[in-house]
Amino acid sequence: MHLTLSVPSKTFLCGEYAVLYGGPAVLLGHAPRFKLQMKSMVGAGECLNIPYGSPGAQWIKKNAPLFKDTSLIFQDPHGGRGGFGASSAQFVLSYVAAKIQNSSLSLIQKQLNVKEMWQEYRLLNHGSDQLPSGGDVVSQWHGETVVFNQHPWRLESRKWPFPNLEFILIPTGFKVSTHEHLRERLPVSETLIKRAETVADSFLKADEERFVFELRGYGEELERLQLVTLETRGQIADLSAHSAVQVIKGCGALGADVILVILPKAQKNHFCDWLVKKGRTYFFDSSNIDFGLQMEMLLEPRQNEVVGGLV
């Protein structure tokens, strides 16, 4: 058996921090895709490129008998750049790999359940002062754009609903460990949670003007709460110089890894050309929105069969 499982990258458009305390998050699933290659290796099981202690490594250790004859090789298309969900992708892919090892390919689709996967992810962190929301694993499982609540459980999907707006995702070049950060006391406010709710509502209703206003307010509240690093604040100030920028905010833990820009779609090319002139050549937009969990099976040398979406 030789399989390749894949999930998209993920970015929090809105709701980082708020989702930990009952608010919603809006997440983007986008290219490029993280991959896990599975290959039968009798008596020579191995696991490569999944760091010891990570959620994926913990899951593999918990299910070690299933993998004793299997090679698992994780591929990060971002080359180690943070912020796009490498750690959560490792868990999702290793979770599905265990399901495949314990079932048959013909039955696997019926046995996969996003909420069960999310619960297992959180169980790995049982006993922590602050459990992760799991929004990242849900986003990568499902793909495209989702609105997610953990209490009560809610998962809604939409295509990008704003024909006149474009988003640009720009890595900062810095990384923050989300799992380490969650051990700290987080100064989340009622205002932040309310802003997240109105952003999610305006997104689901495709209310463009309200979406821009509320998302801008959410980013400002993150900065007021000092939940944005000084490095990201500096880059936000620099990128805000372009007249097309309507909203700009850091995404994820301390806004450290990725900057989100919202601007008129008609100004996208001009803004991207400006980025390139500034030496910022690695970024993504709505054309990169991608599907969720996929499986590709190698049948014969040089012949692949894309089995397609598993969810």
Per-position DSSP letters for 209-256, written without gaps between them: HHHHHHHHHHHHHHHHTT-S-HHHHHHHHHHTTSTT-SEEEEESGGG-
Least confident segment among 5-9, 151-155, 164-168? 151-155
Taking only the tens place, the pLDDT of each residue in 209-250 is 999 999 999 999 999 999 999 999 999 999 999 999 999 999
Least confident segment among 41-45, 157-161, 196-200? 41-45
The answer on pLDDT for 73 being more than 70 is: yes
Using 50, 70 and 90 to split pLDDT, how confident is the model at 69? very high
- DSSP symbol at 93: H
Using 50, 70 and 90 to split pLDDT, how confident is the model at 181? low
Which residues have a Cβ under 8 Å from the Cβ of 146 and sit 6 or more positions away? 26, 27, 29, 138, 139, 155, 156, 157, 158
Question: Burial, 185: exposed, middle or buried (Cβ in 10 Å; 0-12, 13-18, 19+)?
Answer: exposed
Of 167, 119, 188, 142, nearest to 264 (Cα)? 167
Taking only the tens place, the pLDDT of each residue in 89-110 is 999 999 999 999 988 777 788 8
Per-position DSSP letters for 53-83, written without gaps between them: TSHHHHHHHHTGGGGTTEEEEEE-TTTT-SS
Q: What is the number of helices (H) and of strands (E) in the chain?
A: 10, 12
What does the mean pLDDT of the chain come to? 92
Between these two residues, 275 and 107, which has the higher pLDDT value? 275
Q: Give the pairing type, strands 25-40 and 2-14.
A: antiparallel
Over range 76-81, report the average pLDDT.
Answer: 93
Rounded Cα–Cα distance for residues 192 and 280 (Å): 30
Distances (CA, A) of 118 to 179, 180, 311: 16, 20, 14
Q: What angle do CA 150, 112, 53 make, to 5 degrees?
A: 65
Over range 46-56, report the average pLDDT.
Answer: 95
197, 210 contact by CB (below 8 A): no
pLDDT of residue 306: 55
138, 97 contact by CB (below 8 A): no
pLDDT of residue 43: 82
The answer on pLDDT for 56 being more than 80 is: yes
Instruction: Give the SS3 label for residue 120.
Output: helix
Over range 135-164, report the average pLDDT.
Answer: 96
pTM of the model: 0.93
The alpha carbon torsion through 271, 274, 275, 277 (nearest 10 deg) reads 160
Strand partners, 304: 298
The answer on pLDDT for 308 being more than 90 is: no
Instruction: Give the SS3 label for residue 47.
Output: strand
143, 170 contact by CB (below 8 A): no
Topology given in CATH for the domain delimited by 2-309: Ribosomal Protein S5; domain 2 (3.30.230)
25, 33 contact by CB (below 8 A): no
The answer on pLDDT for 304 being more than 70 is: no
